[in-house]
Amino acid sequence: MGIDRDQHKVDNVLAGRAPFYEPGLQDLVRENVAAGRLSASASADGIADCSVVMVCVGTPSEKNGNLGLAQLRRAMEEIAEQLSPRSKPLIIAIRSTVFPGTTEEVVLPALAGRKQLSVVSNPEFLREGSAVQDFMEPSLLVVGGSEETAVREVADLYAPLGVSACLVSLRTAEMIKYACNAFHAVKISFANEVGALSERLGIDAQEVMNTLCQDVKLNVSPAYLKPGFAFGGSCLPKDLRALIYRVHALDLKLPLLESALPSNEQHLRRAIDAVLDLEAKRIGVIGLAFKENTDDLRESPVVSLLEQLIGKGHAVRVFDPHIRMDAIYGSNRNFILESIPHISRLLASLEQILTWADHLVLAQKQSAETMQCIHASGLPLMALVNGTLGNPAAGGAKFSQW
């Protein structure tokens, strides 16, 4: 049963007509109304007989950009009115796009005190113009909530589609919707900016992007899509600076590409602030190079971190399994000696750091053996890199939480 205050929509469905144009929708409405599987009403009375209610109301933008939740609040009031005489279980699945925390702050309070009621988040990922196909062949199915039975029951509704559901927490489900749409917007903007620059340079933009997409290991893949520490090294910062310099020389404005380095600097600042907030006298930093399995120190974000810690008067020691000052030479050596001339006094073995430090900061992925030693030490651990958990017993955490 579809419930909507718009009588025009209700009348269309009851007559077997789609209330708006969407390829393939007209036939589905006509066939299912005729078969008695689909009905519609302007009244919420029918909720009393339902086992699952999917809330799909609009959340339009307000003038300040915030979401308008008036329709969601009204829908919750109408649902709550139907629950008083009800005794059997009911699951409410929020399909509307809402900011993380909205279900907890708006939906749950409106239903407070109602027994045998569960609420889950089940965001939709349907594109206008291909919504029917996207529903029948979903690229992503997400159900989030704190009650496992309710989450699985909603996920099971989609079982005939043959897709595995991602079962997550309530807020995670809400956030995934925004992450997906933001990523789509970023991809479109990136392609358009590369296209604008290519056109100005007389280069075939389609050929550039088609070739870029041939790399499914790094470019079009999960690579680099895990929250973690800031990027550094001898390539990304240098090439971005050169690109932006040339963009400005061509009198172009490419805001997305221009924002990459400032965004990275802000992320590094957040990490530094989190470490500076630690109540520890002696901080052991694990990792010095800009990433694991290299001794390249050029533009390593860890160097900036050390500069701040030392400048604020913290006692610091550093361990990196691949850094030996007597083996560093050339531009790599010049960079580190200019940035931290007393680096040799900070370097220590893992054993020395584990017996000296009050708190550890993991700034680089380490081997399983090294991580085993770190956890065995029992020292509190803050992990700045992705995919590596801190010591839960000691209050460690992923950097992504800050």
DSSP 104: I
Phi-psi region of 244 (alpha: psi -120 to 50; beta: other; left: phi over 0): alpha
How far apart are the C-alpha atoms of 161 and 157, rounded to whole Å? 9
- The number of residues making up the chain comes to 402
Q: Do the beta carbons of residue 113 and residue 86 sit within 8 Å?
A: no
235 catalytic residue (yes or no):
yes
Beta bridge partners of 173: none
Q: Do the beta carbons of residue 363 and residue 331 sit within 8 Å?
A: no
253-276 as b/e: b if 16+ CB within 10 A: ebeebbebeeebeebbeebbebbe
Give the distance from CA 147 to its chain's centroid: 22
DSSP 129: T
Catalytic choice (56, 180, 213, 235): 235
CA dihedral of residues 351, 353, 357, 362 (deg, nearest 10): -110
DSSP string, 172-224: HHHHHHHHHHHHHHHHHHHHHHHHHHHHHTT--HHHHHHHHTT-TTTTSSSTT
CA distances from 172 to 81, 142, 177, 286, 398 (A): 29, 9, 9, 30, 16
Nearest-5° Cα angle at 341, 336 to 342: 120
Give the H/E segment covering residue 30: helix 25-34
| Catalytically annotated residues | 235
